[in-house]
Structure 1
Amino acid sequence: MAARPYPVITVNEKAARAIRGGHPWVYGAETTGPDRPCQNGEIVDVVSAKGRWLGAGLLNDHSKIRVRLLSRNTNDKFDEAFWRRRLQYALDYRKTVMGPDFPYSRLIFGEADHFPGLTVDLFGDILVTEVLSLGMDQRKELLYRLLTQLLPDYGITVRAIYERNEGALREKEGLPQEKGFFPLPGLATDLDGHVTLWENGIAYDVDYINGQKTGFFLDQKYNRRAAAALAPGKRVLDCFTHTGSFALNCAKGGAAHVTAVDISRDAVELTRRNIEANNLTDRMDAIQADVFDLLTELSRSKAHPYDYIILDPPAFTKSGATVKNAYRGYKEINLRAMKLLPRGGYLATCSCSHFMTAPLFRKMVQEAAADAAVSLRQIEERRQSPDHPILWGVPETEYLKFYLFQVV
């Protein structure tokens, strides 16, 4: 291999195996070096204990993930042309897999697009971003500028870029938590934070400044459509509704009536606005309640007011240390929903936590069904929409589990 200009980090065999298997993270405990002084955020080469080149990535001694790999191609030069080309790959992929849904999609999904720690969502003409790694943070201005240059070729003229850099992971990277409009020349920095998003023929008022995450969960786009296909004539209870997305899809899909529930007053108010904006007030309502308490209360009444229940909770666990508690939480809501449904009723249930793995989630659902003394007829098993691609070899990119069942 020709001489390269980058400092060298040496990794142990465990790390080398992970890299060869496709994983882009190198933990500090698995490394020695670099072979010369360098700054955090710099490009470094990663080699095995035998000196075999494994890839190049971004260094950060503040983080447990000491190197985040960018490339396994020795010909790559990490100049502006490299980043433009990589962004083009990501945009071309979304245009192919999302088609007419491209204007409301996730353009960059971190490691799955080889932009470690970077998220970019497109809401019409607004880019909403989250940066969770030092290396990407140092390069974000270049990446934002390139995106604004590339997107007109896809029919998008960017009006503003808003950063939601509030994740706790930023502290572990040595970065401050912050949010605000990014002051790129020619872009607006004084908008009210609301934009209308269209999905499956439904309009949503998205609050990208104060809403959860980037303001809207794009990953359930096609799961919502699949759930709506079962809705005609049904009485639907949509739990943890957030912006009312599953509920709105079901109402538009022909449900007899839909009740959307969330513990957040702001979420309920936003859902009500979305109900009115879509002219669905005749078949929908939204209430503020704790889902656990509501399901218990309904179950005790021994009534069966709903024949279709949707469970789309927030992540009950964001670390391996709390998986057992999360398991109990997921099981409890699924158990209560199954007890509440009549025989022949329908259940949509999901988890958005990577740590609640697919096998663990299936085990939980099976145990809940046994405790509820019901059987489940699986209709469909799904994952996140393809603008949130699953990169094989990187299990962290496979996080959303979604199931449709009939309770029999």
Structure 2
Amino acid sequence: MKIRVTPRGAARLLAHHPWVYKSDVLEGPNSPGLYPVQSTKGVLGLALYNPVSEITVRVFSFTDAGRPQEVLLENLRKALQRRKAAIAQEPVGGYRLVHAEGDLVPALVLDYYAGHGVLQVGSAALEPLTSELTEVIRAEIPLQSLLARNDQKSRSLEGLPLQIKPLLSQVPDSVMVREASIQYRVDLQEGQKTGAFIDQRDNRIRLQAFKGKTALDVFSYHGSFALHLAQGFEQVMAVDSSAVALRRALENAQANGLTNITPKEANAFEFLREEEKRGAHYDLIVLDPPAFAKGKRDVERAYAAYKEINLRAMKLLLSGGILATASCSHHLSEPLFYQMLAEAAADAHRTVRVVEKRSQGWDHPVLLNVPETHYLKFAILEIV
């Protein structure tokens, strides 16, 4: 059976964007699966298909060469092989082994934490292939355990249940992961996402190059940035609204023999406003907020929220101070991100120099044809 799409759907696929929405699917099977996609222009590729999903078609090959399942599993195999050298170099590190569309394995995320794998499946067409996916993963990557963390809310859009279950061996509750000279604990069973935010790994390591007296890590979670900053700054404050997350941040600090991290349980917006009122100053501030824009309709509100925290941070920094600021909202484009920063600098009456433009780690590949794969913007700025 084949899927037939409208001219508009075909135009997206011909531009090598892998998604076709339900409104542009003319005909298709009644049940999810892997099928060829075609239009009046002929066969356009091979895809995951789910008739009840808003993103009905997710292409993983823009040719029709080969059996769909074999092609998909080969894409998975190639993605894993691209990460082997990094794992061999640092087997107790944390890496993304499969980055969904970025690796031409749509709706599949696989993260590696010190020999343990965490898998997330986000498509009803892919779910029945879990055992085949597991076989390929085991053949390519030496794993002590593999956990299916299929608890993301987006699964409900695919008609899939939320569940967490082991796929290989007994899965520990948590593991210690090394990141350059730092180690931190990852909650495999209950941590956010797959357990940690490894897309910021290279940016955290980059900040080890900066030195000073006082640093501030806002939206700190488990203290990931604070741990790296504590090696070069005399005092680091880790701010988060979650007491549980801050307890883990302190545990991570103790595991690294660091005594110069101070936790602060607070709402980030309120904290920054209060710090400005009391005339506080810092040498370096990190802003790593959650995604304020979950959808296109949220962009205006998110823009204002990003601008407020960045404006406050710019006012708190000493001359020569560093602001390391991020957005993981893919709906807030990179041009909009830097426009927001420019407006914040103007309203803060500060001259701000761009030291470096950065993004997500190399193991979270970006496809130029798929803007959605470029979601993390990270700027290192200097107050002149």
Q: Do both proteins adopt the same fold according to a TM-score greater than 0.5, normalized to the shorter chain?
A: yes
In the alignment, what sits opposite 2:322? Answer: 346
Aligned partners of 2:72 and 2:23: how far apart in 1?
29
Partner residue of 1:292 out of 265, 269, 294: 269
C-alpha contact (below 8 Å) 1:299/1:339 kept by paired residues: yes
Q: Deviations over 1:126-170 (max 9, x none)?
A: 11111111112121121012211221xxxx2x2222222222211
1:46 aligns with 2:37: yes
Please state how far the C-alpha of 1:78 moved relative to its aligned partner: 3.0
- Residue in structure 2 matching 1:280, options 258, 279, 285: 258
Aligned length: 383
Which residue matches 2:149?
A: 164
Matched residue, 1:240: 219
CA contact (8 A) 1:98 1:386 kept: no
- Other-structure match for 2:174: 194
Name which of 346, 357, 370 aligns with 2:346.
370
The DSSP-based 3-state class of the residue aligned with 2:324 is strand
Q: Which runs of 5+ in 2 are unaligned?
A: none
Instruction: State the alpha-carbon separation in 2 of the partners of residues 133 and 85 from structure 1.
Output: 18
Does 2:88 align with 1:94? no
| CA distance in 2 between partners of 1:101 and 1:379 (Å) | 29
CA drift at 1:97: 6.5
SS for the counterpart of 1:95 is: helix
Q: Is the 8 A contact 2:35 2:68 kept in 1?
A: no
Residue ranges of structure 1 left out of the alignment (5+ in a row) = 1-6
SS in structure 2 of the partner of residue 227 of structure 1? helix
Whole-Å separation in 1 of the counterparts to 2:306 and 2:110: 29
Q: CA deviation at 1:188?
A: 1.4
Cα offset for 1:88?
A: 2.4
Residues in 1 aligned to 2:13 and 2:291: alpha-carbon distance in whole angstroms: 28
What's the offset of the Cα at 1:39?
A: 4.4
Contact 1:227 1:404 in 2 (8 A): no
Question: C-alpha displacement at 1:245, in angstroms?
Answer: 1.0
Q: Structure 1 or 2: larger strand share?
A: 2
What TM-score do the two structures reach when normalised by structure 2? 0.95
- CA-CA distance at 1:285 after TM superposition: 1.8
Counterpart of 1:62?
52
RMSD, aligned α-carbons: 1.6
TM-score (norm 1): 0.90
Q: Which residues of 2 match residues 219-230 of structure 1 at below 5 A?
A: 219-230=199-210
**Percent sequence identity over matched residues?**
39
Partner Cα separation in structure 2 for residue 403 and residue 98 of structure 1: 27
- Which has the larger displacement, 286-295 or 271-280? 286-295
CA distance in 1, matches of 2:107, 2:73: 18
Q: Is the 8 A contact 2:61 2:71 kept in 1?
A: no
CA contact (8 A) 2:44 2:63 kept: no
1:256 aligns to what SS in structure 2?
strand
Letter matched to residue 217 of structure 1: F
Q: Tell me which residue corresponds to 2:184.
A: 204
SS at match of 1:389: coil
Aligned-residue offset at 1:99: 6.6
Q: CA deviation at 1:373?
A: 0.5
Query: Aligned with 1:134: secondary structure?
Result: coil
Contact 1:202 1:278 in 2 (8 A): yes
1:244 Cα deviation from its structure 2 partner: 0.7
Output one character per residue of 1:211-243: Cα deviation in whole Å (capped at 9) or x when no partner: 11111111111111222212x123100101111
Corresponding residue number in structure 2 for 1:268:
246
CA separation of 1:359 and 1:101: change in aligned 2, threshold 3 A:
farther
In 2, Cα distance between equivalents of 1:275 and 1:328: 33
Deviations 1:178-235, CA, capped at 9 Å, x for gaps: 22323x4xx115x3x11011111211111121111111111111111222212x1231
8 A Cα contact 1:41 1:138, kept in partner: no
Q: Corresponding residue for 2:230?
A: 251
Distance 1:132 1:84, change over 3 A: closer
**Where does 1:386-405 land on structure 2 (aligned, <5 Å)?**
386-405=362-381
Of 287, 301, 309, 1:333 maps to 309
3-state SS of the aligned residue for 2:8? helix
The one-letter amino acid of 2:14's match is R
Q: Which residue of the other structure, out of 111, 117, 134, is the alignment partner of 2:124?
A: 134
Say which SS state the counterpart of residue 359 (structure 1) adopts: helix
For 2:107 and 2:90, locate their aligned partners in 1 and report how far apart those are by CA, in whole Å. 24
Contact 2:240 2:246 in 1 (8 A): yes
**Matches of 2:332 and 2:85, distance apart in 1:** 30
